[in-house]
């Protein structure tokens, strides 16, 4: 079976998290041929892979959400106008009124056109004017028009991209990934569409837009509605939609995914990789705290550093290891370095990208202070090494720490996001109680082996793939 994985902003350009999950899926099924439809920002990222591609991943297609107008323009005295059917479909998309995605798919896939000419032309202007008059006449029209152009350019670029033929399209989100998967199913009716959401894409974008300073007022609602209708298209076309935990499945249903399509499929890791890892080095008397993450704002490393600094003042034996790449947001990484310096915090180590197995055995516990997560693989990696975890109450972190009626017991400490006092207290609690650390670590290992191994995940997706190969 040929499976086309479709993902946005991750594999094979970024390590960890969803990228690691995709790599695990591909390598777990060598009997299937995989191709990759990778959605990235622009051509500057092209080909800059952080993974060695598995042998059964035969091709990588790239889709750019920000691109030059590569279509050669032909000067015409009279420009070709949209057909009435295409104009109605475009109007339905902008108004979110019974959008005719099938017509739009044929339109954008049938011919290469200048998107500049489309967005700056009379047809798009007519549709935007109708939308404005029906729903948004209280705002300045010129601002509204330019917002529509900026919103629809990345979507139209994606919809115009080449969609390779496959038996199964496996999208690792809704959004732009889901739109391309849904379009592919329309183009190739014998194919199947599977969507696996690690975070709930619509909700994540909504949170980002609400917090964003570059957009205000009614325009926030316009962007939120844009992502909702894209996800709805994907949900409607999908054969099956998976999530990592029960609450995420509930959110999918609330957002319009038909309940009968939904299925909970937890993450899984290879626990055997952590059986013989190196332990504490001779002479190491520190209480080592490990943070396995990308140094980016969503991981809220600054809160972690501040909490560690206050904990260090109370317990000088503490040492923080921040383990992961620092090149994704260099400005934020610099701000983190400066914070350590400004607070004069000793024993903070930024390792950069490392092999987690070479460091995990030295740790006494790990910490994750993210403001958004799905079901973090780093927590499962900690459990595989029998290490307890401090984590913020995002995504499925509560379920991983307290269990979901598995009877195993607590395996770490949960805190609220951006709460320096709570995180400081949690660090000191585990640092000062070795018996608790060992008990929580064993509970975490038991929880992992009961539900979250790579074998569990592989069997689940083997069943799904087999069902969709018929």
Express each pLDDT in 190-246 by its tens digit. Answer: 999 999 999 899 988 998 898 888 888 889 999 999 999 999 999 999 999 999 999
pLDDT value, residue 107: 93
Same-domain status, 63 and 98: no
CB 366 within 8 A of CB 337: no
Q: Are residues 147 and 162 in the same domain?
A: no
* DSSP of 398-424: HHHHH-SS-S----EEEE-TT-HHHHH
Domain presence at residue 459: no
Are the CB atoms for 194 and 468 separated by under 8 Å? yes
Query: What was the pLDDT predicted at 78?
Result: 47
Cα diameter, the chain: 82
pLDDT tens-digit readout, 15-74: 878 998 999 999 999 999 999 999 999 999 999 999 999 999 999 999 999 987 655 555
For residue 464, tell me if it sits in a domain: no
- 9 and 130 within one domain: no
Specify whether 183 is located in the same domain as 316: no
Tell which of 236, 264, 292 closes a domain: 264
pLDDT by residue, tens only, the chain of 470 residues = 999 999 999 999 988 789 989 999 999 999 999 999 999 999 999 999 999 999 999 999 999 999 876 555 555 544 557 889 999 999 999 988 889 999 999 999 986 778 888 999 999 999 999 999 988 888 999 999 999 999 999 999 999 999 999 999 999 999 999 999 999 999 999 999 999 999 899 988 998 898 888 888 889 999 999 999 999 999 999 999 999 999 999 999 999 999 999 999 999 999 999 998 999 888 899 999 999 999 999 999 999 999 999 999 999 999 999 999 998 899 999 999 999 999 999 999 999 999 999 999 999 999 999 998 889 999 999 999 999 999 999 999 999 999 988 999 999 999 999 999 999 999 999 999 999 999 999 999 999 999 999 999 999 999 999 999 86
Extended strands (E) in 324-460: 348-352, 365-368, 389-392, 412-415
How many domains in the chain?
3
**Domain stops at, among 230, 264, 298:** 264
Q: Are residues 305 and 365 in the same domain?
A: yes
For residues 276 and 259, membership in a common domain is answered with no
Do residues 457 and 268 touch, judged by C-beta distance below 8 A? yes
Same domain (yes/no): 38, 88: no
Q: Are 361 and 276 contained in the same domain?
A: yes
CB 216: neighbour CB atoms within 10 A?
8
Which residues are within 8 A (CB) of 136 and not within 5 positions of it... i.e. 6 or more apart? 144, 218
Same structural domain, 276 and 319:
yes
* 462 is a domain residue: no
24 is in which domain, residue-wise? 2-69+158-264
Whether residue 440 sits in one domain with residue 363 = yes
What is the CATH number for 446? 3.40.50.2000
Write down which residue in 132, 152, 172 finishes a domain: 152
Query: Residue 341: inside a domain, yes or no?
Result: yes
Same domain, 290 and 437: yes
Looking at residue 299, the DSSP 8-state letter turns out to be G
Judging by DSSP bridges, how do beta strands 389-392 and 365-368 pair with one another? parallel
Amino acid 207: pLDDT = 85
Give yes or no: residues 310 and 441 share one domain.
yes
Question: CB-side exposure of 19: number of CA atoms within 13 Å?
Answer: 18
The residue among 37, 93, 91 whose CA lies nearest residue 230 is: 93
Query: Is 79 part of a structural domain of the chain?
Result: no
């Amino acid at each position: 079976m040929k499976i086309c994985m479709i993902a946005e902003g991750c594999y094979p350009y970024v390590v960890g998290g969803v990228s690691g999950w995709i790599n695990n899926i591909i390598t777990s099924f060598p009997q299937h041929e995989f191709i990759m439809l990778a959605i990235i920002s622009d051509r500057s990222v092209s080909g800059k892979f952080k993974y060695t591609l598995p042998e059964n991943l035969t091709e990588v297609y790239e889709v750019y959400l920000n691109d030059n107008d590569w279509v050669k323009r032909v000067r015409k005295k009279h420009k070709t106008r949209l057909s009435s059917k295409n104009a109605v479909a475009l109007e339905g998309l902008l108004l979110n009124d019974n959008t005719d995605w099938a017509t739009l798919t044929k339109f954008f896939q049938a011919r290469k056109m200048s998107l500049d000419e489309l967005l700056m032309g009379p047809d798009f202007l007519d549709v935007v004017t109708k939308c404005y008059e029906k729903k948004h006449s209280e705002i300045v029209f010129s601002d509204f028009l330019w917002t529509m152009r900026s919103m629809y350019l990345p979507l139209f670029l994606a919809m115009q991209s080449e969609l390779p033929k496959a038996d199964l399209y496996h999208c690792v989100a809704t959004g732009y990934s889901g739109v391309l998967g849904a379009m592919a199913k329309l183009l190739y009716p014998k194919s199947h569409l599977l969507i696996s959401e690690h975070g709930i894409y619509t909700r994540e974008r909504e949170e980002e837009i609400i917090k964003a300073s570059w957009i205000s007022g009614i325009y926030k609602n316009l962007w939120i509605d844009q992502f909702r209708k894209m996800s709805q298209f994907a949900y409607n076309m999908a054969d099956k939609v998976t999530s990592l935990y029960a609450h995420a499945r509930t959110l999918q249903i609330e957002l319009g995914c038909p309940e009968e399509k939904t299925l909970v499929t937890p993450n899984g890791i290879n626990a055997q990789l952590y059986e013989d890892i190196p332990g504490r080095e001779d002479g190491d008397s520190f209480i080592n705290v490990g943070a396995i993450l990308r140094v980016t704002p969503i991981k809220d490393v600054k809160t972690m550093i501040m909490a560690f600094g206050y904990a260090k003042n109370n317990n000088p034996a503490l040492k923080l290891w921040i383990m992961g790449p620092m090149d994704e947001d260099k400005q934020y990484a610099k701000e983190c370095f400066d914070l350590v310096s400004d607070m004069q915090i000793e024993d903070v180590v930024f390792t950069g990208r490392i092999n987690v197995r070479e460091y995990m055995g030295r740790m006494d516990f790990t910490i994750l202070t993210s403001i958004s997560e799905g079901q973090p693989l780093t927590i499962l990696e900690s459990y595989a090494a029998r290490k307890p975890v401090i984590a913020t109450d995002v995504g499925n972190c509560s379920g991983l720490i307290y269990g979901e009626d598995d009877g195993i017991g607590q395996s770490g400490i949960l805190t609220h996001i951006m709460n320096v006092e709570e995180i400081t207290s949690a660090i000191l609690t585990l640092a000062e109680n070795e018996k608790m650390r060992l008990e929580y670590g064993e509970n975490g290992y038991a929880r992992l082996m009961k539900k979250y191994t790579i074998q569990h995940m592989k069997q689940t997706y083997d069943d799904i793939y087999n069902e969709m190969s018929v």
